Structure 1
């Protein structure tokens, strides 16, 4: 049997804090969420490795550090309303929910939606809502958002996300070709509607599929 509590603490210290992401609220969120509960079968034993792992529907759960970097860059704080696109296992949404006020996480695979909803209920994460839909269109009924984060790579930032973002809000998403190395991009929407961009480094994500993304 793995000692998940010890492995989780080691992951937080070595993979996140030691790489410069030492915000207390961020570290507390990662300590609070059991990543092993978001993986099926034997993969749970590898939950705290410094790497992405396979999940159902041919998708992946992201490397913990990349989840942390995304949350940190998006400036997610207490009281924020956050949209996550590509909920996957629900892990990132669960971590975000430990910090933010409300989280809506959109996922296009019904199997993943069902599993993630079950995990949220079982773990008691009442401020995280997992919904099925085309995440490239955002979630208009939940807008406006303080932050929008994506766990899939697009060729551009969808216009719907920009429209659903509050002035001063941030989008963090991978930009680039499908099945290639992409750039993790931070986009900030200013009060006058203009946008500024910041390159956060190279990443590799599954493609963003939908009306404002790649074809499925």
Structure 2
């Protein structure tokens, strides 16, 4: 077994399974992707630690346990079309690509778009397309989506993104609840938002999704 495979196995057995990650499809997807390829070379040796890893300004590989729990709660189906928002270097997109039929990976930074495209090609993620665009606007022309995954803690989910859900679609994300991260599953049917809190999750925020300051006189 290579060092990389051993590190992945240790992450799964030491971080994921002890934290009630029991969805074997999620486990198998995570086991099949070389996480170290999606971090800067200087961080390759710590790619499997139970920490969020900064990969670019404002972009992180989410802590493995939180990421795996979110995926488990998303119940990704093999027929799903997924939108991966703020995909960074593309790690989350690679895992989603193992679980869903197709993935649209959305990122604002052109360097990250190019990096993610290259690494995803190396990892044989043929059903993932990386697109440059405003992460707060989503990508309506490719929708509707059965699953929208947001990489980072957000103050709120723009209605423009919720409008891109299919009839049975859902958003999986971490919402900022007065400074505390709450992993949530969000639905949006007939303009009615449903929010189910899943678990507490401390992950870095996405600045683009910060709530606009309100002025009072």
- In the superposition, the TM-score normalised over structure 2's length comes to 0.89
Equivalent residue for 1:133? 133
1:186 and 2:185 correspond: yes
Tell me how far apart the structure 1 counterparts of residues 124 and 16 of structure 2 sit (CA, whole Å): 25
Aligned pairs, number: 210
CA contact (8 A) 2:58 2:207 kept: no
The answer as to 2:148 corresponding to 1:148 is: yes
Aligned to 2:31: 31
Q: Is the 2:21–2:72 contact (alpha carbons within 8 Å) kept by the matching residues of 1?
A: yes
Q: Tell whether 2:203 aligns with 1:204.
A: yes
Alignment of 1:9-158 (within 5 A): 9-158=9-158
Instruction: Please give the per-residue CA displacement for 1:145-190, whole angstroms capped at 9, x wherever unaligned.
Output: 0010101332222101211101221111222279x54222211234
Q: Distance in 2 between matches of 1:53 and 1:29?
A: 20
Shift of residue 15 of structure 1?
1.5
The alpha carbon displacement at 1:56 in A equals 2.6
Q: Secondary structure at the match of 1:150?
A: strand
State the distance in 2 between where 1:150 and 1:174 align: 8
| Whole-Å separation in 2 of the counterparts to 1:117 and 1:82 | 17
- The DSSP-based 3-state class of the residue aligned with 1:51 is coil
TM-score (norm 1): 0.89
Which stretches in structure 2 are left out of the alignment for 5+ residues?
213-217
For 1:59-104, what per-residue CA distance to the aligned partner results, in whole angstroms no more than 9, with x for missing partners? 3211111211221222212111000111011101101101100001
Aligned CA RMSD, in angstroms, stands at: 2.0
Structure 1: stretches of 5+ with no match in the other structure: none
